[in-house]
Amino acid sequence: MLTVVAGTGYTGSRILERLPADDVIGLSRTGIGTARSFHLIDFDTVDALPLDFARSFAVIYTVPPGGDDDSRLQGFLDRLTAAPRRFVYLSTTGVYGDCGGAVVDEDTPVNPGSRLSKPRVAAENRLRDWAIANDCDLVVLRVPGIYGPGRLGLERIRDGAPVLQECDANPGNRIHVDDLASCCIAALNTDVPAGIYNVGDGDHRSSTWFTSEVARQADLPMPPRISREQAAKEFSPMRLAFLASSRVVDTTRMRQILGVTPKFGDPVEGIRASLSSED
């Protein structure tokens, strides 16, 4: 089955590398850093997507929302001259909002509390209605923080940026980019039921722990730790909003139904592998 990867950035490029080059098309406004050659299309300017509809195809859509109404997603849907057999959309676990540290699963009502997660809920709803109208299987992957090579926050650590003291930190939810790529590819399997899947490594140690572990493994100074009261004076509004949102994301459905067991279930190993890739 032909796969269209819409968005060939950090995650999309990893997905492209894992799929046969003859069976994948990448849609991007810019080139990608890969040793392999792919068919790339600028989907902001093309009038229609030149796909071979003699074959069934699927879409993996990794593009973040373009504004509150996500006109880019609507533009993409408008350019499809036929519906894919399956549409995989990367959303965010931020749609659950602040749950006070409680466990959330796919049946937990969404309650987006930030301007970043509200467009994701709108996109999920838009795609649900579109998929029903076009007889397309929709798989929504709700994704936490993504880390991997080049995404460890090393510059912030070198700059001495502070983190919350552990007693003020919330549970963490994250996934290594290679495990996220595995989830996306697994979601292409037509034997996997359509629906919503939380993804993550299942480790809920805090962002403070994670940053400190990166510093330890990279042989960098430990970041200074400050109270939440101090953070309110020093952190950006976006970072404060992120730190104020607390939840533990249950990924049972990812493991039991999507069929993915993260390679880097222990972020200690994920950090080690990521640092090794940067050498």
Q: Contact at 8 Å (CB) between 92 and 143?
A: yes
Confirm whether 157 is domain-assigned.
no
Neighbours of 130 (CB within 10 A): 17
Closest CA to 29 of 77, 66, 1: 66
Residue among 263, 267, 260 nearest 185 (CA)? 260
Owner of token pair 């993804």:
199
Whole-number pLDDT of residue 55? 67
User: Dihedral sign, CA of 61, 65, 69, 75?
Assistant: negative
CA 6 to CA 89: how far, in whole Å? 10
- Look at residue 35 in the predicted model and tell me its pLDDT: 47
What per-residue confidence (pLDDT) applies to 148? Answer: 98
Percent of the chain with pLDDT over 70: 89
- Residue 163 belongs to some domain of the structure: no
Domain assignment of residue 242, yes or no = no
Q: Which of 38, 42, 18, 45 is nearest to 30 (CA)?
A: 42
Give the least confident one: 12-26, 99-113, 200-214, 263-277: 12-26
Q: Looking at the 3D structure of the chain, how many domains does it have?
A: 1
At residue 53, the pLDDT reads: 55
State the pLDDT confidence band at 236, using cuts at 50, 70 and 90.
confident
Q: Report residue 79's pLDDT band, with 50, 70 and 90 as the boundaries.
A: confident
Q: Tell me the pLDDT tens digit for each residue of 21-36.
A: 888 888 876 555 454 5
Q: pLDDT value at position 42?
A: 65
In a domain, 105, yes or no: yes
Distance CA(110)–CA(32), nearest Å, equals 34
- Whether 69 shows a pLDDT value over 80: the answer reads no
Which helix (H) or strand (E) covers residue 39, if one does?
strand 39-41
Tell me if 23 sits within 8 A of 77, measured CB to CB: no
- What was the pLDDT predicted at 82? 87
CATH for 36:
3.40.50.720
Q: Is residue 188 part of a domain?
A: yes
Angle of helix 267-278 relative to helix 207-217, nearest 10 degrees, comes to 40
Residue 51 belongs to a domain = yes
- Our CA dihedral for 13, 16, 17, 19, rounded to 10 degrees, sits at 160
The CA-based diameter of the chain, rounded to the nearest angstrom, is 60
Contact between residue 2 and residue 24 where contact means Cβ atoms under 8 Å apart? yes
Tokens in use for 236?
């950006």
Confidence at residue 220, expressed as pLDDT on a 0 to 100 scale: 98
Is 273 part of any domain? Answer: no
Q: Is position 48 within any domain?
A: yes
Model pLDDT for residues 122-173, shown as the tens digit of each residue: 999 999 999 999 999 999 999 999 999 999 999 999 999 999 999 999 999 9
Q: Is the pLDDT of residue 38 over 80?
A: no
Q: Which domain holds residue 147?
A: 2-151+173-204+248-265
